[in-house]
Structure 1
Amino acid sequence: MQEQIQQLLAEATGRDASDFADTTEDLFADGLLDSMATVQLLLALQDEFDIQVPVSEFDRSEWSTIDKIADRVKELENE
């Protein structure tokens, strides 16, 4: 799942997927993810994993690393 998320991040940000190799790196603090790319990523995650991510309930701290994104996706898949 982390590899899929890395690819979606690369597409959302226009960066190389290797920029997201560290799955524990804080994507916001390190400037890899901004607000526009976040929206694009959330839409891509919804399409890729058939989940619903309520934007109104989005908490950046829960989506700040690839590992955390994978955890949230798994949680939403089970809802």
Structure 2
Amino acid sequence: MKEKILDIMVEITGVDEIKEDLDIELFEEGIFDSLAIVEFLIEVEKQLGLKIEPTEIEREDIETPNKAIEFITKRS
């Protein structure tokens, strides 16, 4: 599941560094924004079958790839 989540993040952002630095600050580096969050959640639902509403997630839950992986894994 970890690789799939990373693939989704790279697919949305076009930033391969996400796979190289799992602690990169996605928002501080300008990689993720509010639109990217929605796109991410849509792709998670499509590709992993896991529906998460935007209101169920806080920015802190996915501020790094590692945190996003942990959050999604706990929800699955």
Distance (Å, rounded) in 1 between the aligned partners of 2:74 and 2:17: 25
Q: By how many angstroms is 1:19 displaced?
A: 2.1
Q: Which runs of 5+ in 1 are unaligned?
A: none
Alignment-derived partner of residue 40 in structure 1: 39
1:8 correspondence with 2:15: no
What TM-score do you get using the length of structure 2 for normalisation? 0.83
Identity %: 24
Q: Which runs of 4+ in 1 moved over 4 A?
A: none
What TM-score do you get using the length of structure 1 for normalisation? 0.81
Whether the 8 Å contact between 1:46 and 1:52 is mirrored in structure 2 is yes
Whether the 8 Å contact between 1:63 and 1:69 is mirrored in structure 2 is yes
Q: By how many angstroms is 1:56 displaced?
A: 1.2
Q: By how many angstroms is 1:3 displaced?
A: 2.4
Distance (Å, rounded) in 1 between the aligned partners of 2:28 and 2:58: 14
Amino acid at match of 2:5: I
- Please report the RMSD computed on the Cα atoms of aligned residues, expressed in angstroms: 1.4
Whether the 8 Å contact between 2:41 and 2:53 is mirrored in structure 1 is no
Distance (Å, rounded) in 2 between the aligned partners of 1:64 and 1:56: 16
Amino acid at match of 2:35: M
Q: Which runs of 5+ in 2 are unaligned?
A: none
Q: By how many angstroms is 1:57 displaced?
A: 2.2
